[in-house]
Structure 1
Amino acid sequence: MRFINPKTDYAFKKIFGSEQSQDILISFLNAVLYEGNSTIRELEILNPHLGPRIRGFKDTYLDIKATIADSHGQTETVIIEMQVLNVEGFQKRILYNAAKTYSNQLAIGDGYTDLQPVIALTIVDFEMFPELDQLISRFVLKERTYLTDYSSIYDIELVFIELPKFQKELPDLETLMDKWLYFLKAARKLESVPPSMEAVPEIQKAFAIANQANLNAQELDELEHQEIFIQDQRNSIRKALSQGIEQGIEQGIEQGKLAAQRAIAQQLLGVLDDETISRTTGLDLEAIAQLRTDDSLNP
């Protein structure tokens, strides 16, 4: 058997976001949000599109948006996205989508007490927070100095899973979360369903959906185009990094370390966000913002 790459947009939606995938999504969310406990009892997959569009973004959409109800009757909205490239504006888009989903709950005449929590779950195929060791990072509203919670419930929670930090191999899988993350990371390379994963009905079903034999020619063509696009974008980033480093070294010999850093950052403006450029070059965010201003004044 050959399996499609679950990390591509089309495959991710097909596996986790279709009407017949509710049990798969419940199992996945219980695994990564609730430590494998059967917290989610019911789930409804909603319309994934948001409007209006924002200037500067090609699309303002959510990969999957669902309403979940737990065993205590608490209702929450969870928005799930798989992101394979660290593109400019990505982090702001996540926050925007979460805030918009939170505010859109109210109709005219509704009270603020009707607002239910929103969880934005984002799985990324790159390291977002290299300074943090944990695989999953959860951000909520807290007081800056004393870290006191803003409210008794987390109205908006941003959850990030960094797949490169998941290093377990097949013999090391223990928890339900381990198995789901291994599915996301390694399914494309497998030739059969591992027995330990086949024992989980929802994961077995996910493998069946991901089996290339169950896809038609149009679906396979769409997947191939997405894979090519992702690879082209990654190659563009590598090329920019390589050119930037080479140019930076040459200029650095003549002009010093700061000029070298600026030269590298200049090459990366069109392909990486400011925080990633800062981590790559060592320049602070203010200096990078100034480079963007200078670049916009020199068409």
Structure 2
Amino acid sequence: MQFINPKIDYAFKKIFGSQQSHNILISFLNALLYDGKPTIQDLEIIDPYLAPKIRGIKDSYVDVKATIKDTSDRTSSVIIEMQVLNVEGFENRILYNAAKADPGQLIIDNDYTDLEPVIVLTIADFEVFPELEQSISHFMLKDKIYLTDYPIYDIELVFVELPKFRKELAELETLTDKWIYFMKSAQKLDSIPLVMQTVPEISQAFELAKKANMTPDYRNYHL
């Protein structure tokens, strides 16, 4: 059995952004955004094309986009990007996509308090912050001098740096460990490890990642 590299654009979108991905994406986001806690109760995977509402504004694409609802019934927009190469302007694009995540949600009759929080989750196959040891970092708005939090937590940038995760298969314990290991190592495996089979959503992700499930044109192009 062979699995496609989930970091490849087509595979990432198939695993996390297709019609079969609802429960997979809930588990994945709970693992990476909320430390494995069952915070997300439901979500809707939506068109990831960020269509500009103002003439002349630059188009932008993301890998997966969803609207999530948490245990407090709060709704947020989540943008998920898999970034393999550290290209110039990468950090700027993240801010740009966050700023225009829902350009049409505030209509004339709405109040600013109706704006949904935005979370941008970036999985990077390189080190983004060499000065930090942790593999997952969360950024929010703070005062420049005193580091006081801005009173509204409605923009959050989350980075998962895959090279910093160094646990081996036998060391995997948490849901977060298992999902990051899946992202790093699925393409190197020839079967679904027993420790991963304990999470049904990860088993489903492996099924979607089977090379046998890919179209002939896609297999020929990426093998």
TM-score, structure 1 as length reference: 0.71
Query: Are the equivalent residues in 2 in contact too, given 1:5–1:11 (CA < 8 A)?
Result: yes
Distance across 1 between alignment mates of 2:218 and 2:40 = 31
Quote the offset at 1:107 in angstroms.
1.7
- C-alpha deviations, 1:56-108, integer Å up to 9, x for none? xxx72010010000111011110000000011111100000001115442122
1:186 aligns with 2:185: yes
Tell me the secondary structure at the aligned position of residue 101 of structure 1: coil
Larger Rg computed on CA atoms = 1
Query: Are the equivalent residues in 2 in contact too, given 1:40–1:71 (CA < 8 A)?
Result: yes
Query: Are the equivalent residues in 2 in contact too, given 1:120–1:157 (CA < 8 A)?
Result: yes
Query: Are the equivalent residues in 2 in contact too, given 1:16–1:24 (CA < 8 A)?
Result: yes
Query: Are the equivalent residues in 2 in contact too, given 1:102–1:117 (CA < 8 A)?
Result: no
1:198 aligns with 2:197: yes
Distance across 2 between alignment mates of 1:103 and 1:20 = 27
Distance across 2 between alignment mates of 1:105 and 1:170 = 43
Matching residue of 2:113 = 113
Tell me the secondary structure at the aligned position of residue 126 of structure 1: coil
* Structure with greater proportional helix content: 1
Look up the equivalent residue of 1:159 and give its one-letter code: V
Matching residue of 1:69 = 69
Matching residue of 1:291 = none
Matching residue of 1:17 = 17
- Give the number of the structure with larger relative contact order, counting CA–CA contacts within 8 Å between residues 6 or more apart: 2
- C-alpha deviations, 1:253-284, integer Å up to 9, x for none? xxxxxxxxxxxxxxxxxxxxxxxxxxxxxxxx
TM-score, structure 2 as length reference: 0.94
**Which consecutive unaligned segments of at least 5 residues does structure 2 have?**
none
Query: Are the equivalent residues in 2 in contact too, given 1:11–1:223 (CA < 8 A)?
Result: no
- C-alpha deviations, 1:192-232, integer Å up to 9, x for none? 100010111000000001011122202313434xxxxxxxx
Matching residue of 1:167 = 166
Look up the equivalent residue of 1:141 and give its one-letter code: L
Tell me the secondary structure at the aligned position of residue 3 of structure 2: coil
Distance across 1 between alignment mates of 2:20 and 2:119 = 22
Matching residue of 2:217 = 218
Query: Are the equivalent residues in 2 in contact too, given 1:10–1:223 (CA < 8 A)?
Result: no
Look up the equivalent residue of 1:98 and give its one-letter code: A
Tell me the secondary structure at the aligned position of residue 37 of structure 2: coil
